[in-house]
Amino acid sequence: MKFLIVGLGNIGSEYDGTRHNIGFEVLDQWVKEHDAEWNSDRLANVAKFKFRGKQIICIKPTTYMNLSGKAVKHWYSKERVPINQVLVITDDISIDVGKLRIRGKGSAGGHNGLKDIQAQLGSEKYDRIRFGAGSDYPRGRQVEHVLGKWNPDEEIEVALQKDKACKAIEAWIVKGLTGAMNEFSS
């Protein structure tokens, strides 16, 4: 049984620590917890390992956020992963900092990375962990907000939520979507 776990973000050190890169950060932490290593491969950095007897394929697209669907489609097709065994980790400005939301199918909610994934896969029936990025920014400054770094008051809560998101990935693999939602959505 294979699972494809996708962390969304932008490549380049200038994006490290930004709200939009939380998908990369969560996946980096989870891969490290399992002593796996990232390798550069087609359209993504890829880490593969076994978790509780299941084959895990983690990817961080190297296509930039708004073109993430190309990498997801490639690895989804190459590895022949069922759509219900695909999990995407992303930021969400409609959720308060310090909150996680685990959901199955649904709209992209204005998130360009999710829009591209849905366009490339031709489906919105993949699961996702949405990591609260907050909406405390001036009108018209959304891009600056998501490409900005967490403020010092948020950093402690973000670290706690990254730990929680890693546990939520494992719950999703072991207990399925409903089990993970019941345990971790806040």
Domain segments of the chain as ranges: 2-184
pTM score = 0.93
List, by residue number, the catalytic residues.
20
- Determine the Cα–Cα distance for residues 52 and 47; give it in Å rounded to an integer: 16
Selection from 6, 8, 20, 23 nearest residue 59 by Cα: 6
* CB within 8 Å of 156: residues ≥ 6 apart: none
Selection from 1, 145, 152, 4 nearest residue 87 by Cα: 4
> Could you give the angle at the alpha carbon of 53 between the alpha carbons of 32 and 120, nearest 5°?
70
Three-state DSSP at 18 gives strand
Token pair belonging to 75: 């690895």
Domain 2-184 in this protein, CATH class: alpha beta
- Determine the Cα–Cα distance for residues 101 and 131; give it in Å rounded to an integer: 7
* CB within 8 Å of 25: residues ≥ 6 apart: 7, 9, 17, 162
Q: What is the pLDDT along the chain (186 residues), one digit of tens a residue?
A: 999 999 999 999 999 998 889 999 999 999 999 999 999 999 999 999 999 999 999 999 999 889 999 999 999 999 999 999 999 999 988 888 989 999 987 776 667 788 999 999 999 999 999 998 787 776 877 777 777 788 898 999 999 999 999 999 999 999 999 999 999 876
Three-state DSSP at 120 gives helix
